[in-house]
A and B are shown apart, each in its own frame.
Chain A
Amino acid sequence: MALLQISEPGLSTAPHQHRLAIGIDLGTTNSLVATVRNGISAVLNDSEGRALLPSVVRYHADGGVQVGDAAQSAQSEDPVNTIVSVKRFMGRGLKDVADVMSLPYRFVDEPGMLKLRTVAGVKSPVEISAEILKSLRERAEQALGGELVGAVITVPAYFDDAQRQATKDAARLAGLNVLRLLNEPTAAAIAYGLDNAAEGIYAVYDLGGGTFDISILRLSRGVFEVLAANGDSALGGDDFDHRIYCWLLEKNGLSALGAQDTRLLLTRARAAKEELTDRSETRIAAVLGSGEVIDTVLTRQDFQEMTQNLVARTIQPLRRALRDAGLTVDEVKGVVMVGGATRMPQVQRAVADFFKQTPLTNLDPDKVVALGAAIQANVLAGNRGGDEWLLLDVCPLSLGIETMGGLTEKIIPRNSTIPTARAQDFTTFKDGQTAMSIHVVQGERELVSDCRSLARFELRGIPPMVAGAARIRVTYQIDADGLLSVSAREQTSGVESHIVVKPSYGLSDAEITQMLQDSTQYARDDMLARALREQQVEAGQLLEAVQSALDQDGADLLGEDERARIATVMHRVREAMQGSDHQAIKKAVTQLNEATVQFAQARMDRNVARALTGHRIADLDR
């Protein structure tokens, strides 16, 4: 594989030592954790041999928290405090949740993101998700017996910025170092592609419990390139359950059920749906709180009819994704099916009809995302598994800015390869105007009111000028996690006002630290011990990286003074590491980072130059 032979970028991590990294599929219904051991990606089971952790969290009055199967079995008994499918609420306000009325929770409407009132207090979806992640982190730490370097967390490809930011915050709250947010279909494509040495255009159709994604990728040896992604982040198996639930209510003349009965029927509906995958009819039986007995037969045919338009809703995104990729159905070599809900025969049929081919179902649709995430985590952690590849992903939704008349001006179009940055110039419309308000939105629609509002901020301190004279450059940057940051700067006068916003629903570092401190699982001493350990690990890694860079390029790229200066700062880091003050280590680490900035730049420039000269016509097998 020619691509793999190109000189190693960045700093190598010799001496070689396996760094523990995990991939987590944080699903609406089920979550999993996987890791690469001895070159093989494998899901880590719990102590009872179960791979899937139901994404269910139950809060108790005494502050105790249960996650997984134990919580799931309590869902009908204690529905208000037992949160299922919390992923649907990530980064969402109350008005975004379609079926609020039939959900057995006590919602608290808050700007940005809704919250849920439980016996243990008001919880945000971020905190609830963090409990799931914490449980998986503990599982992994026990299985692997060491400190984790970091984790790759998967998100639906069609998640917007708010949902991604919320996921990343949840991971940090769970004490995980997030190596990357990885799109679920992309993770699946990595696992599938590597396993099958697949080359050509592939579509990944991922219908899970709560989200739907379609990604079109070009796979070739050494490169995974996402060409387009589309989907619906509020469409999944849950909606099929909901249809059965509504049908049950109607058929039995029921209305306004209590929380317990609602959860009971939703659970029965899900079981019925799953049974209809293998059988042509199923019996749904339940005893309601009132003593009323429900006993109904649902046929596969009726089920398929009542869910026909849900299946149809997955077809439109397929068309769009193909069009955005500039491809036709005939060019798609294979369709990879991911997610438990793709087991439904009507879904498989619809996908086969659209793509004019039988979809590939020869992989475990529940596990493939976690397996791919683990493979990527292994690479990102700096473990070189012999194989290396380049992964190019895209942003699923356009990012824009509000202009006059409530219209959106697109700044970054959907399906741009990330990381990406785009700038646009704006001007003042009043004489002497000294401030400008900037409204950042995401979505495809023309009206701002139809798009998702991500952030609002003001650029102040513009020197007074006549209308139209100021030149304000607004820059949008999307990083490799698909997360946006925005900055604005007035250019003409030489006066710079610069502001970088994080979208408003995001938690600040201070808030996360506060939440960590509040959480009962982290007593203050634990916190300090953890912070110290983390700083020591980070300092150790940095020293190792700098040393290896010095060994490789120090003599060529640095003068003697420069080398001496870096050596002094390295010494300071080593000294700080002996002590138990994590702040002191952090300070020394920052100094070392600063002291090596120019060296790093020189190395980067040289690598880039070498890449195209030494290996100009590197045959990339494409």
Chain B
Amino acid sequence: MQFDFQQNFFQMFGLPECFKLDGTVLEQNFLTLQSQVHPDKFAHLPESERRLSLQWATRVNEAYQTLRKPVDRARYLLKLRDVDTQEETNTAMPADFLMQQMEWREAIDEARHAGSLDDLDALEARVQHEAKALLQQLEASLDQAHDYPAAAGVVRKLRFFEKLSEEVASAYDELDH
């Protein structure tokens, strides 16, 4: 693509490069940017402009989605710092963490088989609660300690929680069938 993509996502929204972020400012600036670049603003213009608008609007959406979701935001920050989160390669995890993950999974499976929406609701709340504690750790390592390897380790843990959330979501979908 030929247009200037030098700006990183934080720069794009005029935000400081840190994990903690003001969601309201992010959202406002997202809307301000989209109101400049969205394809609806260019529909009556020549093809070349429409293409440019499509590229920009796509980019702005990508940036917004990345910064909006905390784990993606952390991944992105680490990437900016040239730190590899090693989510595919580094599978060394504390045994008790893995045990707990197994238990979660079993609980989700049980709820799925029992067809219990209430159980799923409860599980989802607990998964979210645990993930929240990890997000706090992430903020501490990224913004205060600047300990990026530690942050990468937390991201690896959070990857497991993302997978759990996906399983919960697909269990919900299944129960709706």
A596 to B48, CA, bound (A): 8
Q: Is the CB of A421 within 8 A of B62?
A: yes
- Check B172 for interface membership: any CB of A closer than 8 A: yes
Q: Is the CB of B40 within 8 A of A480?
A: yes
Contact with A along B7-40 (1 / 0, CB 8 A): 0000001100000000000011101111111111
Say whether chain A's binding surface is mostly helix, strand, loop, or mixed. Answer: mixed
Write the nearest CB–CB distance from B51 to chain A, whole angstroms: 9
A571 to B177, CA, bound (A): 62
Contact with B along A572-604 (1 / 0, CB 8 A): 000000000000000000001110110011001
**Please, how many residues of chain A have a CB less than 8 angstroms from a CB on the other chain?**
60
Query: Restricting to A172-227, which residues have a CB under 8 Å from any CB of B?
Result: 179-180, 222-223
Q: Is the CB of A608 within 8 A of B58?
A: no
B44: chain A residues at CB < 8 Å are 13, 19, 149-150, 179, 380-382, 541
Contact with B along A610-622 (1 / 0, CB 8 A): 0110011111101
A380: chain B residues at CB < 8 Å are 40, 43-44
- Check B46 for interface membership: any CB of A closer than 8 A: yes
B54: chain A residues at CB < 8 Å are 419, 479-480
A622: chain B residues at CB < 8 Å are 27-28, 31
A446: chain B residues at CB < 8 Å are 170
Query: Restricting to A316-371, which residues have a CB under 8 Å from any CB of B?
Result: 316, 319-320, 323
Q: Is the CB of B32 within 8 A of A542?
A: no
A479 to B50, CA, bound (A): 11
Q: Which residue of B lies closest to A6 (CB)?
A: B35
Query: Restricting to A403-431, which residues have a CB under 8 Å from any CB of B?
Result: 416-421
Query: Restricting to B63-112, which residues have a CB under 8 Å from any CB of A?
Result: 64-65
Q: Which residue of B lies closest to A377 (CB)?
A: B43
Q: Is the CB of A319 within 8 A of B32?
A: no
A444: chain B residues at CB < 8 Å are 173
Q: Which residue of B lies closest to A479 (CB)?
A: B54
- Check A391 for interface membership: any CB of B closer than 8 A: yes
A6: chain B residues at CB < 8 Å are 32, 35-36
Given contacts A600-B49, A611-B33, A620-B28, contact A420 B62 (CB under 8 A): yes
B64: chain A residues at CB < 8 Å are 417
Given contacts A19-B44, A601-B2, A604-B3, contact A9 B36 (CB under 8 A): yes
Given contacts A593-B48, A604-B52, A612-B13, contact A223 B31 (CB under 8 A): yes
Q: Is the CB of A600 within 8 A of B36?
A: no
- Check A607 for interface membership: any CB of B closer than 8 A: yes
Given contacts A316-B176, A390-B38, A417-B61, contact A612 B48 (CB under 8 A): no
B45: chain A residues at CB < 8 Å are 10-11, 382, 545
A418: chain B residues at CB < 8 Å are 61
- Check B148 for interface membership: any CB of A closer than 8 A: no
Write the nearest CB–CB distance from A418 to chain B, whole angstroms: 8
A421: chain B residues at CB < 8 Å are 58, 62
A616 to B45, CA, bound (A): 26
* Contact count A vs B, C-beta below 8 Å: 140
Q: Is the CB of A10 within 8 A of B40?
A: no
Q: Is the CB of A604 within 8 A of B28?
A: no
Q: Which residue of B lies closest to A11 (CB)?
A: B45
Given contacts A13-B44, A600-B52, contact A615 B39 (CB under 8 A): no
Q: Is the CB of B31 within 8 A of A179?
A: no
A316 to B53, CA, bound (A): 36
A501 to B47, CA, bound (A): 19
A619 to B32, CA, bound (A): 9
B3: chain A residues at CB < 8 Å are 601, 604-605
A74: chain B residues at CB < 8 Å are none
Q: Is the CB of A180 within 8 A of B14?
A: no
Q: Is the CB of A618 within 8 A of B28?
A: yes
Write the nearest CB–CB distance from B89 to chain A, whole angstroms: 14
B14: chain A residues at CB < 8 Å are 612, 616
- Check B41 for interface membership: any CB of A closer than 8 A: yes
B31: chain A residues at CB < 8 Å are 3, 223, 390, 620, 622
B57: chain A residues at CB < 8 Å are 419, 480
- Check B42 for interface membership: any CB of A closer than 8 A: yes
- Check B4 for interface membership: any CB of A closer than 8 A: yes
**From B46, B58, B173, B177, contact of A477 by CB (8 A):** B58
- Check A284 for interface membership: any CB of B closer than 8 A: no
Q: Which residue of A lies closest to B173 (CB)?
A: A444
Q: Is the CB of B53 within 8 A of A10?
A: yes
A382 to B33, CA, bound (A): 19
- Check A392 for interface membership: any CB of B closer than 8 A: yes
Q: Is the CB of B36 within 8 A of A611?
A: yes
A4 to B53, CA, bound (A): 19
A379: chain B residues at CB < 8 Å are 40
Write the nearest CB–CB distance from B34 to chain A, whole angstroms: 6
Write the nearest CB–CB distance from B9 to chain A, whole angstroms: 13
A616: chain B residues at CB < 8 Å are 14, 29
A605: chain B residues at CB < 8 Å are 3-4
**From B28, B52, B172, contact of A601 by CB (8 A):** B52
Write the nearest CB–CB distance from A36 to chain B, whole angstroms: 14
Q: Is the CB of B29 within 8 A of A180?
A: no
Q: Residue among A150, A542, A620 with the most chain B CB within 10 A?
A: A620
A19 to B43, CA, bound (A): 13
**From B27, B37, B170, B172, contact of A9 by CB (8 A):** B37
Q: Is the CB of A419 within 8 A of B176?
A: no
Query: Restricting to A502-536, which residues have a CB under 8 Å from any CB of B?
Result: none
B28: chain A residues at CB < 8 Å are 617-620, 622
Q: List 5 A-B contacts (CB under 8 A).
A: A391-B40, A480-B54, A605-B3, A608-B33, A611-B35
**A contact residues vs B (CB 8 Å cutoff):** 3, 6, 9-11, 13, 19, 149-150, 179-180, 222-223, 316, 319-320, 323, 376, 379-382, 390-392, 416-421, 444, 446, 477, 479-480, 541-542, 545-546, 592-594, 596-597, 600-601, 604-605, 607-608, 611-612, 615-620, 622
Which 5 pairs from chain A and chain B are nearest by CB? A382-B44, A380-B43, A480-B39, A9-B41, A316-B176
